[in-house]
Amino acid sequence: MCGIVGYIGKKPAAPIILEGLSKLEYRGYDSAGMAVFDGEKIQIKKSVGRLKVLEELTHDGATMPGVIGIGHTRWATHGAPSDVNSHPHYNEKETIAVVHNGIIENYLPLKEKMISKGYKFTSDTDTEVLAHLIDYYYKGNPLEAITKVMHRVQGSYALGIMFAEHPDQIFAVRKDSPLIVGQNEDGCFIASDVPAILKYTRKVYFIQNQEVVRLRADHMHFYTVDEEEITKEPVNIEWDADAAEKGGYEHFMLKEMYEQPKTVTDTLMPRIKDGDIVIEELGMSDDEIKAIRKVHIVACGSAYHVGVTAKYVIEGIARIPVEVDVASEFRYRNPILEEGAMVIVISQSGETADTLAALRESQQLGYKVLGIVNVVGSSIAREADNVMYTWAGPEIAVATTKAYSAQLVAIYLLAMKFAKVKGTISDSDFTAMLKDLKRLPDQIEMLLSNKERIQRFANRYIGAKDVFFIGRGIDYAISMEGSLKLKEISYIHSEAYAAGELKHGTISLIEKDTLVAAVATQDNLFQKTLSNMVEVKARGAFVLAVTNAGNTDIEKAADYVIYIPRTNPYFANSLAIIPLQLFGYYVAVGKGCDVDKPRNLAKSVTVE
Ligand code: F6R
């Protein structure tokens, strides 16, 4: 979490930094700050609150003249959001300034040591220890001081560092937190993520773990932690710069929901060739696929919900047992990976700390890992043995929608590929499923065009206190995601339950007018879910149902019905989630919540 930006060149640095930070606010937005060298000293301005507070404080950067600077937008870990805890942090003489994304795990012993040497701390952050440590090791050679500090600190960090004594250079350092650098004819840039500098350059360098970059106005040098110079090749970023702009939509989340037909098409179509599924990136021969005995899927949040769906789809079609884990649990439970196991990690950002750790844990146990990843060049993309990209483009809203939808179809492709190779699906069923897959984008489009009806319904529930989502099988997985979408952006408490489980305790919470959203897309489970709907309705619940077109029987048990087009039951998630995303979105908008940047959250969770 947290976003960092740096610039050194011919242009005023502050406006470039502010512009870059505005593209990184999705990473954290409880405070922001900047350090700019004004020709004599390093000037710092920082404040709790959104970036716009810093913009006002600095008159859009005009009060911070200078062509060298670093900036930060924060998601607090150590120390509450406050002016003093905001980054950048100085050493005591105010000659070294540091911005940091990550966590310094051994900051307490280091802080004690620095205090015993007479250093005075002003903040509660782990980052401040870095400023003092660099000061402690600095004897005139910045690179030497930085690498000494890298040898001392444990944890994760992406850093931007500047020295008043070396105003012709800034430094970028990385370990386990994302960092890129880029260059154009006017200068060099540091950023946590590509959108921050896409306006200025498409030529970026991905910094690897334990690497340092010295940026000057017209060139960059790359070093290892042992100060050895290394060379790097730039990557040309193909993204459309407009993809990271709102483009007339009120929120990024709405725009990204509307992009789902495209992201689903982009993820599916390059892998469907001549009536077959070709996933070159899988890096597995047919014999290797046939040898898979078990699939372990590991992910967090919505990506984990994709994993839950994947269990039903892969087990159902390819008849391979699937175990799904939340990454933060998997990494510490000493997992048993048996002979023939395949590990899949799913991540939009490719930077989620727990998912990355699960990947490494699996590799240490001797297993190859397939990453289903959205962000090209991210840590998981680089470290996974094979990468299947979801071509969703930059996702800015904190609540995922389009990347989730792209992950779902990536899973359908994998499941069908496995089934075809293993012979667990007939040719005619495979062809019929392919046809249904290709129809998904249009069907999603159709559901999105019905948004007004959902908006009207959502407006009735902006005062809700508790909402329950129920479903069975894949419908349960859909319920989990529907519930998360609602709660994370509207702050309304909601829970997802396997419909049959409700009566084992939770049904006691149902009272008059409690909203229960029931998902019933699986024909073989329809009557069962219907019974559960009747049970909650009998206890006063208001029942919203999401079901397939034609299932009009449901109107006996539901107060409000949203029909989705028919598709193969294994793909129903891709359609049923659309009205639930819209519902969460419009409830949050109706409540006046900050939809794109919900409180306490950040887009990329790079801490445990
Ligand atoms: C919810 C959401 C999160 C992410 C989770 C994993 O809307 O976006 O639950 O799904 O933090 O993030 P990635 O996919 O980047 O690993």
Q: What is the DSSP string of 315-351?
A: IIII---EEEEEHHHHTTS-----TTEEEEEEESSS-
- Residue 253 backbone dihedrals phi, psi, to 5 degrees: -60, -40
pLDDT tens, position by position, 470-505? 999 999 999 999 999 999 999 999 999 999 998 899
pLDDT reading at 241 higher than 70:
no
pLDDT tens, position by position, 531-556? 999 999 999 999 999 999 999 999 99
> What is the percent of the chain where pLDDT is above 90?
86
Known catalytic residue at 294: no
Q: How many CB atoms lie within 10 A of CB 155?
A: 16
The residue to mutate among 1, 177, 192, 349, having the most atoms of ligand 1 within 8 angstroms of its beta carbon, is 349
Known catalytic residue at 603: yes
Name which residue sits closest to atom 1 of ligand 1, judged by CA: 399
The full set of domains in the chain, from first to last, is 3-240 (3.60.20.10), 246-448 (3.40.50.10490), 450-594 (3.40.50.10490)
How remote is the CA of residue 299 from the centroid of ligand 1, in Å?
Answer: 8
* pLDDT, position 28: 80
Name which residue sits closest to atom 7 of ligand 1, judged by CA: 399
- Cβ of 400 less than 6 Å from ligand 1: yes
* pLDDT, position 79: 87
* pLDDT, position 240: 67
Mean pLDDT, residues 127-148: 97
Identity of the residue numbered 213:
V
pLDDT tens, position by position, 563-593? 999 999 999 999 999 999 999 999 999 999 9
Strand runs labelled E in 164-202: 170-175, 180-184, 187-191
Name which residue sits closest to atom 5 of ligand 1, judged by CA: 301
* pLDDT, position 76: 83
CA distance 362 to 342: 9
- Cβ of 483 less than 6 Å from ligand 1: no
CA torsion 394→359→354→319, rounded to 10°? Answer: 90
Task: Single out the residue of 574, 197, 178 nearest to residue 376, CA to CA.
Answer: 178
pLDDT tens, position by position, 378-389? 889 999 999 999
pLDDT band at 218 (very low <50, low <70, confident <90, very high): very high
